[in-house]
Amino acid sequence: MKILLLTLVCIFLVKISLAQSDLLSFDEHNKYIYYQVVDIPGVTADTLHVRGVSFLKTNYAKMKVKLNGQNLTGEGKFLVYGGISVLKHEKGEIDYTLNVEFKDQKYRYWLTDFTFTPYERDRYNNYVPKQGIVIPLENAESKLDKKDLTGYLDETGAFCKQFGDNLKQFILRIPVSAPKKEENVKKVVTDKW
């Protein structure tokens, strides 16, 4: 019975880890991409745009964001870690490009152009980016260990999924302001009895 339970737990963990690597796919330019279209009925494109800008300004303040009409384009980065539990440290950073487009009752976003910059220790024992080394994740198989690359792809997929979930929750959290109807307030006349 214990063996059966242990086997089921192991299979479940393998399924979860494989599901994260399936989040990224290749686009027409053979680059990794995370692409989603989200429907939000009853919300106009302008409202979605304002909420998207507000989300990026509050949650990703260091991201370089450009506004192109109803579209948002940004560049950001996140750290990837290596090592075992207590000994984890920064192995590098992954830069990405974010694109968000808004239409009435829906928006779409995609994260692409993932590049890996490895970290090294400096003379003060801090982890800093190696100068001049930028590896696109599509071409990283020949330059990184397979185990490390798989971990980086898993972390990238998890980051993209978390980013999308946070964006959707932020957009849904702010209630849509419906135009207020003016109610006829009954006025009380005190000089006539």
- 15 part of a folded domain: no
Local confidence band at 85 (pLDDT 50, 70, 90 cut-offs): confident
In a domain, 179, yes or no: no
Q: What are phi and psi of 71, to 5 degrees?
A: -110, 150
More confident residue, 46 or 22: 46
pLDDT classification of 27: cutoffs 50, 70, 90: confident
Range of the domain at 141: 23-173
Cβ atoms 122, 179 nearer than 8 A: no
Please work out, in degrees rounded to the nearest 5, the angle formed at the alpha carbon of residue 107 by the alpha carbons of 106 and 109: 155
Position 173 confidence tier, pLDDT thresholds 50, 70, 90: confident
- The pLDDT value given to residue 79: 94
Mean pLDDT of the chain: 84
**Both structure tokens of 188:** 């009380």
Residue 96 lies in a domain: yes
Which structure tokens are listed for 30? 């053979």
Q: How much is the average pLDDT of 122-142?
A: 92
Q: Provide the β-strand partners of residue 112.
A: 33, 97
Q: Is residue 12 part of a domain?
A: no
Confidence category of residue 4, pLDDT binned at 50, 70, 90: low
Q: Tokens at residue 148, please? A: 């490390």
Asked if the model's pLDDT at residue 43 lies above 70, the reply is yes
**CATH (domain of 79):** 3.30.530.80
Look at residue 91 in the predicted model and tell me its pLDDT: 92
Rg, C-alpha atoms of the chain: 24
The upper half-sphere exposure of residue 43, i.e. CA atoms within 13 Å in the direction of its Cβ, equals: 24
How many structural domains compose the chain?
A: 1
Query: Is there a domain that residue 59 lies in?
Result: yes
Judge whether 84 lies within some domain: yes
- Selection from 106, 40, 116 nearest residue 70 by Cα: 106
Residue 19: its pLDDT value, please? 47
Position 152 in a domain:
yes
- Is residue 6 domain-resident? no
